[in-house]
Amino acid sequence: MTNTPAIKLAASALQKTYGQRRAVTNVSLSLNPGEIVGILGPNGAGKSTTISILAGLAAADAGQVTLNGETVKTGAAEYRKHIGLVTQDIALFEELTARLNCEIFASLYGIQGRARSQRIAEVLAQVGLSERADDRVQNYSGGMKRRLNIAVALLHNPEVILLDEPTVGVDPQSRNAIFDQLEALRSSGKSILYSTHYMEEAERLCDRIVIMDHGQVIANDTVANLKARLPVSDLVDLELTGTLDSAQRASLEALGEFTVVDENNARLTASLKSLATELPILLEKIANTCATITHLSTRRAGLEALFLQLTGRQLRDEDDPAGGGGGPPVTSTENTRVRVV
């Protein structure tokens, strides 16, 4: 009897260059059955290129990919039968109904006859669109289009599902619906690779997280193990007001991530090992600069703090606000929020 390999899909030492730009360098990762692995990093980190290689849309310059323990050519038709791809851009015929979209994609996958009708009904029910199956996609909300985008990727019942930032531009209700669908797919044994630059999504969904920056993997572990690497346990966010001279600004810059908003307002985020013992000291140092605190909130350190520790910059440093379109807000679980008047 042949044992099923524990690892469903694996990439080893992938490299890809476009002109003079190295998009991915020595990227390795793996997916187990019934697991969601997140690729977390800012725009331009190499997440989409990695997924394109694994989906067979781009050829790696070096490295290898294995499926069920066997080395494969990702561009081969036989390999792609096992892969479901959900792209960041909506890949639908918007002038057609959801059902007709599914008909077209099912035909491309070679699904015919009664099996096709049955499978279309199944995936539309899976993403909660059965009652809107005969409406034109152009009349769908952004979240409904995203869910249909997932449905067409599931028509051929792939073993591995690759998702490239699938929640861009959707409302919170649709985002939660997508999360529920992915968790159900995980429970059914599917292997899922989920690309995002939102730590909230990664922390909620993923069993393991691969953190990428500038085309390289800089961390690969469970959420719990990644958080255990943090040298701090709490973050303090402060809004400050007051006209500060250069020496006072330098004093504030030494306390954490200091940002000047305008001539009279600034923000400070400080990392603390112990909120109880270090917060009073921090407040005293701020008072010595003559800055006035107008707002203070605390939160537990998370993956964004780890990214800052590993790279020296914020997870969203490379984000394009104009192009990011409706992702989840930058939030964390806050323990305390104080507004000073």
Per-residue pLDDT of the chain (341 residues), as tens digits, is: 445 458 999 999 999 999 989 999 999 999 999 999 999 988 889 999 999 999 999 999 999 999 999 999 998 999 999 999 999 889 899 999 999 999 999 999 999 899 999 999 999 999 999 999 999 999 999 999 999 999 999 999 999 999 999 988 888 888 898 999 999 999 999 999 999 888 888 888 999 999 999 999 999 999 888 877 776 678 899 999 998 888 998 999 999 889 999 888 999 988 888 888 999 999 999 999 989 999 999 887 677 777 777 776 666 544 433 333 334 333 333 344 443 43
pLDDT for the residue 337: 43
- Measured between its terminal Cα atoms, the distance across the chain in Å is 72
- Asked if 31 and 8 count as a contact pair (C-beta separation under 8 A), the reply is yes
pLDDT for the residue 311: 74
C-alpha distances in Å from residue 148, one per residue of 101, 107, 171, 178, 323: 9, 16, 15, 10, 22
C-alpha distances in Å from residue 336, one per residue of 213, 241, 339: 31, 20, 10
- The answer to whether the Cα torsion of 221, 224, 226, 229 is positive or negative is negative
pLDDT for the residue 316: 59
Task: Please list the alpha-helical segments (H only) found in 206-245.
Answer: 223-228
pTM: 0.76
Q: Which residues contact 323 (CB under 8 A, 6 or more apart)?
A: 43
The alpha carbon of residue 148 and the mean position of all alpha carbons in its chain are separated, in whole angstroms, by 19
3-state secondary structure of 227: helix
Closest CA to 227 of 206, 242, 197, 213: 206
pLDDT for the residue 183: 95
Longest Cα separation, the chain? 77
| Cα–Cα distance measured from residue 265 to residue 241, given in angstroms and rounded to the nearest whole number | 4
